[in-house]
Amino acid sequence: MLQGRKVAQLGRSELAEYVQALVIAVALALVIIVFLAQAFVVQGSSMEPTLHNGERLLVDKLSYRFREPQRGEIVVFKYPADPSHRYIKRIIGLPGDTVRISDGVVYINDTPIEENYTLEPAISDFGQVAVPPDHYFVLGDNRNNSEDSRYPDVGFVPRNLMVGRAVFVFWPLGRLGLVRVPSLASQLR
């Protein structure tokens, strides 16, 4: 009888350890997802050739708590027309910049930028706009198949809708690697 009681106690303490480990794992996962990083699945072709439909990314949610988003970074943000949806685009214009597209060339503050990461130049022009404070002008790398800041339902993306920046492709394994950020700032000096 005594031996049966020890086995039952051992079973209960073992179960308690498993429950405790599970609770700690769930709490840790929630902290990571809410504050540090989150997985994101690319949907659609708007970021080709840089990112492809179905790729899975790691999105850094921490760095924008300590610094402002930078030109050239690929960001995940809440879609302004319906914040329950997430979009992924490249930051082109920062607060205070002017942006326009003419003959397929993007101009920032009247300086043309070289973009070797796009699928093809935009076929339509876009008149000059000034990026308001605390907002960003974003474009997809597939300029002719992207719903981005050129369209009123996206428009300028408010800073408070930024979820984080894409930093790492982890699936499919053949595309495993860091997300490249071109140095657009050096072209504007």
Q: Domain count of the chain?
A: 2
Q: What is the mean pLDDT of residues 3-31?
A: 64
Residue 103: φ, ψ to 5°: 50, 40
User: Strands 111-112 and 98-102, how do they pair?
Assistant: unpaired
Known catalytic residues are: 46, 89
Based on the fold, state whether residues 75 and 24 are members of the same structural domain.
no
The pTM of this model reads 0.81
- pLDDT greater at residue 33 or residue 12: 12
Q: What is the mean pLDDT of residues 149-161?
A: 95
Q: What is the DSSP letter of 32?
A: I
> Which residue range is the domain that position 24 belongs to?
1-37
Based on the fold, state whether residues 141 and 49 are members of the same structural domain.
yes
Which residues does 130 contact at the CB level (< 8 Å), separation at least 6? 96, 97, 98
Based on the fold, state whether residues 72 and 18 are members of the same structural domain.
no
Based on the fold, state whether residues 23 and 47 are members of the same structural domain.
no
Percent of the chain with pLDDT over 90: 60
Report the alpha-carbon angle 163-169-172, nearest 5: 130
- pLDDT greater at residue 29 or residue 103: 103
C-alpha closest to that of 47 among 11, 86, 15, 89: 89
pLDDT tens figures, 31-70: 555 555 678 899 999 999 999 999 999 899 889 989 999 9
